[in-house]
Amino acid sequence: MEEYISNYNSSEYKDYLDKLQIYYDYKIKILKKIEKNKDTDGLSFSETNDKFTLNYNNMYLEITKPKYKHIFNEINKIKKRKNEIKIDYKELQYRILHNLNNEADYKKYQKIVDELISLDNKVKELTEYYIKINSVQNNLEINNKNNINDFTKELEQLFEKINTEKDSILTRKYINDYLEIIKERNNLKDNKYKTIDFAITKLPEIKEKNIKSVSKKEKPVKKPKKVKKTNDEIQKNINSKLKKKIKEKLENTSDKNLNKLEEDIKKKLFKVFRFKNEAECKSRSHSADFFTKKPELIELIKKSPQIEKRLPSNYQGMNKNKLCEELYKL
């Protein structure tokens, strides 16, 4: 088992995977040249059951493939062999128990017992290797699933805030946060964790000369022609930049400071009223300085669009107590 784990984690195997990618990258380049009828002198590749070979100008690469065995195929072969020799095992066991055996039967019986023990040990070794080599992958996959679940809970909480928040600036912030978390969760969902179901019985061999990776050329981005903007477009651009600045400021503001900011905004809006809290708003004490009748309250609200747009559309039909409650929900 330790040999299999060592082979899988070896620098030789990692180098093999890197060089194999280089081989395929240059193979694609050669095939594209052939397709376009371009000169391919000094360029060639070949593949056999055991080797990959590449010639590309002054580069040379020869990869002797590693030897693998599929864990579960190997276990099935062992089980098949066990079933075959168990027929002789049972027959010899019967002969020995009933004194029908000779000296040669004892030796044959012991040989079969030794082989059965050896086969069981091989199954145990392969199973332990499979569990150990995949334990890291399993942990990564579990952590990934837990992170996805955490993001899902966070999205549910944000969705609730978006639906209940009255302040338009905070609502925009929650929406932006929601969209960012959706992106992060989708990235996690794209993660793939492959199960390792093979063992390397012989490491690969590599011969190389002047090898370098294929450079990935980025396509130049065509700049669109500048079109003169209209006054409306200029104003939209200014508003967009302003919104961005507000968003950045909000993202760098603590919850405590956000709550203070919200309270400050509310105080400025409520300066039009004589009352200072919900109890004074609901008060029926005509002699109190802060007393406000419902018709007067509605007129004050109409003169304050920032307050009116945050209230339910049917606020004028509410009784005074209900209207005061809605005001102090803002």
**Strand, helix or coil at 40?**
coil
Would you say residue 260 has pLDDT above 80? no
Give residue 27's pLDDT: 94
| Identity at 224, one-letter amino acid code | P
How would residue 329 be classed by pLDDT, with cut points 50, 70 and 90? confident
pLDDT at residue 140 in the model:
81
Chain mean position to CA 97: 62
Query: Can you tell me the distance from the alpha carbon of 56 to that of 211, in angstroms, rounded to the nearest whole number?
Result: 9
Sequence ranges of the domains in the chain: 2-68+203-209, 69-202, 271-327
- Can you tell me the distance from the alpha carbon of 233 to that of 231, in angstroms, rounded to the nearest whole number? 5
- Tell me which of 190 and 261 has the higher pLDDT: 190
Is the pLDDT reported for residue 12 higher than 80? yes
Interval 126-156: pLDDT, tens: 999 999 888 877 888 888 899 999 999 999 9
For residues 144 and 188, what is the distance between their CA atoms, to the nearest angstrom? 7
pLDDT at 258 over 60: no
Mean pLDDT, rounded, for 204-228: 70
Distance CA 298, CA 121 (A): 87
Looking at mean pLDDT, say which of 55-69, 168-182, 267-281, 304-318 comes out highest.
55-69
- Would you say residue 222 has pLDDT above 60? no
Q: How far apart are CA 86 and CA 102, in angstroms?
A: 19
Q: Tell me if 283 sits within 8 A of 275, measured CB to CB.
A: yes
CB under 8 A, 24+ apart: contacts of 239-243: 243/172
